[in-house]
Structure 1
């Protein structure tokens, strides 16, 4: 059932990108959309490459009813279910099983074009319903210089991709810093305390938590001793 889960997540993300103006979003863009959404929902980041790998394997096995893929990260399975509107993986599985049992030959024989049309209509209705409640009930945040700050809803900022759903963890722990030789890069057990990524100008920037670069939307990388010596402190 994991292959159905990831395929449906990609279908939803693709339709949302189309509604935002992306006429033919790439697989990378779709994977980044999912990665960003899951990170916002559960605070757990997984690189877009892993989502693409899962999706590719799912498509290869889609016609084989006896085989499934295995998404090893339990949090990602839960996050994908939440992204598709289900509380738990069990709810998702029950819903899919019921759909399979109630399907009939007339539904199976629908043409691909008709299926895409109704799917698009459903996506528009769902987005309209979600958008109404999101604007009126959801809190928002925006990136300012070196941190996220809470802000009011602004349609122009949302259309420009600047407005993000409020995330308390991002507000409290995600900051951009300028590290130096005195910076503590690792915990006592060796766990990284700094992540990095390039901005739109190609310059390296450093952040205090894992996540996506607030300017480019790309997944940040863990700090390494090589990066420290080359870009921060030659004597490290």
Structure 2
């Protein structure tokens, strides 16, 4: 994620909050924003300090936090924000440059378009890929796979980073620098499942929750009361 884009997102988030909040203090605005998205007011205040007050020494925010800020601005995700805002800007820049440059630049642009069309036609003959959930990870499959398997559009980032994992005392539940969660969970009855990224449960589609200190301690207690845990 580019820092310049994240800064723009943070500025727009607080501009929107100022229109909705009766107070304009950092604390009041952060609390208002936190009521609509999952990151805490403290996390949002750190974003204010870093990008609006330009304080140094504040670590980077994780992908989940930035995605939540984009949702506050009515975008599905950071990727959707970039696609909608910067693809349009890029197109406008290309048009402006085309007006300023001579016919040679126009010829180069035309050549690129022709090559793109040729490559696009060749890709039509290739089978479109999707992905499906296999026990604890996603795997690439053909989109035409049997209806018995649930397939979703291929997402290379999710394919590489979204895994179901077991946790123990060696598990890093939180980022040492930012304190942000590194594990997300789904609880059903007495059963708890753990995942390495936020999003929806790969089977039932329910939203995963970020791990908390309470859940981490409850899941992996430092001490147990089993007889085998005491020194003989």
Instruction: Give TM-score, length-normalised by structure 2.
Output: 0.43
Q: Say which structure, 1 or 2, has more relative contact order (CA 8 Å, 6+ apart).
A: 1
Larger Rg: 2
TM norm structure 1: 0.42
